[in-house]
Amino acid sequence: MPVAPAAEVRPERPARADFALQETILHGHRVAYRCAGSGPVLVLVHGITSTSATWERVFAALARRFTVVAPDLAGHGASAKPRGDYSLGAYACGVRDLLLALGHERATIVGHSLGGGIAMQLAYQFPERCERLVLVSSGGLGREVSSLLRSAALPGAELVLPLLTHTRLMAVGRAVGGVLDRVGLRARTDLEEMARGHASLGDAPSRSAFLHTLRTIIEPGGQRVDARDRLYLADDVPLLLVWGERDTIIPAAHGIAAHAHVPSSRLELFADAGHFPQLDEPLRFVAVLEDFIDHTAAARPDGQRLGELLRRGDPRVD
């Protein structure tokens, strides 16, 4: 499907009023989120140690055509960090509850990294809420993941995490990123966002939420959650996979394999992007996402059809 030239899309840095954090209370806990625009609903779900601000470079452009909702997940950003359930299922319920509280029944769900795993879980648990599924450098589609995340899953990592938030270490990371950027390796964004994420773990509640989340999805050997055994259910849901070819955290090979597993899906590889294509190439990201929505019909889940798929199982597995 042809994509409109990137030059036709001109997302600007949004005015602070457009991207301002709002708050609501769900189940007695504070939930922070950003919401703007009108039209079909688009939900943007960030990754681990990130926040809704990771969508800042594309938020205003998308809000011109869509009602855009971007939460700070529980344990992240300005949302509450309670003792509790930080599983993918709990996060999916949280996103669903926020949507309903804001008066939205259905949406296109866009998930980045951990958010991709949450988006898949939401589509599986609540298919009636998911019109389309967009996975951006998504977790849950293969074993491999960066060594830094694997090391954080080791016993005793909670004793090391405070050291990773040291300001001098953050400065070193940014300096290395600048060198790599100058020699043509587009790892700077990945390093800067990782540094920003680790800097967010400066208090005990944030570190606890991070470790509880991480250890539900990652173990020292790699990712422990694998959604590939249920990808066949995505045959009836429009699926877009977006990946940066220079991803230093989750390899683009995961997206390529997922696309092969779901022939009806669409794969977009960003040659000059890393783990954050929405930050590295925001113009193209917006163009691709809009084109995907324009050329696909919202899924209409059918309980009988879903039952047939479950009984049949994945035809690609012996």
Farthest-apart Cα atoms in the chain, separation: 57
Residues 6+ apart with CB under 8 A from 105: 99, 129
Say how far apart CA 148 and CA 119 lie, in whole Å.
23
Contact call for residues 271 and 245 (beta carbons, < 8 A): yes
Residue 169 lies in a domain: no
Question: What's the one-letter identity of residue 289?
Answer: L
Residue 200 lies in a domain: no
Say how far apart CA 154 and CA 87 lie, in whole Å.
18
What is the predicted pLDDT for the residue at 1? 44
Residue 26 lies in a domain: yes
Number of domains in the chain: 1
Say how far apart CA 65 and CA 63 lie, in whole Å.
5
Tell me which DSSP letter residue 141 carries.
S
The model's pTM: 0.86
Q: What is the CATH number of the domain that holds 50?
A: 3.40.50.1820
pLDDT along the chain (318 residues), means of 10: 39 50 97 97 97 96 97 97 95 98 97 97 94 97 90 66 48 44 55 82 88 91 90 86 95 96 95 96 98 96 77 69
Say how far apart CA 158 and CA 23 lie, in whole Å.
29
What is the predicted pLDDT for the residue at 168? 44
297: number of Cβ within 10 Å: 9
Residue 56 lies in a domain: yes
Per-residue b or e along 86-121, where b marks 16 or more CB atoms closer than 10 Å to that residue's CB: bbbebbbbbbbebbeeeebebbbbbbbbbbbbbbbb
The token pair at 249 is 């955290």
Beta-bridge partner residues of 266:
240
Question: What's the one-letter identity of residue 176?
Answer: V
Measured CA to CA in angstroms, residue 197 lies from 49, 135, 180, 192, 314 at distances of 5, 20, 20, 9, 37
Tell me which DSSP letter residue 302 carries.
-
- Tell me which residues are annotated as active site: 113, 247, 275
Residue 182 lies in a domain: no
The token pair at 268 is 């977009």
pLDDT in tens, 190-235: 888 887 887 788 888 998 999 999 999 998 999 998 898 888 877 7
Residue 239 lies in a domain: yes
Say how far apart CA 208 and CA 201 lie, in whole Å.
9
The token pair at 89 is 């299922």
> Which residue is associated with the tokens 């540094």?
195
Question: Residue 236: which domain range?
Answer: 9-145+225-299
What is the predicted pLDDT for the residue at 104? 97
Residue 47 lies in a domain: yes
Residue 36 lies in a domain: yes
What is the predicted pLDDT for the residue at 19? 82
State the alpha helices, DSSP H only, in the chain: 56-63, 88-101, 114-125, 147-152, 157-164, 167-182, 188-199, 204-217, 253-261, 277-280, 282-294, 303-312
The token pair at 305 is 């059809």
Say how far apart CA 309 and CA 302 lie, in whole Å.
11
What is the predicted pLDDT for the residue at 161? 52
Contact call for residues 242 and 277 (beta carbons, < 8 A): yes
> Which residue is associated with the tokens 């100058």?
182
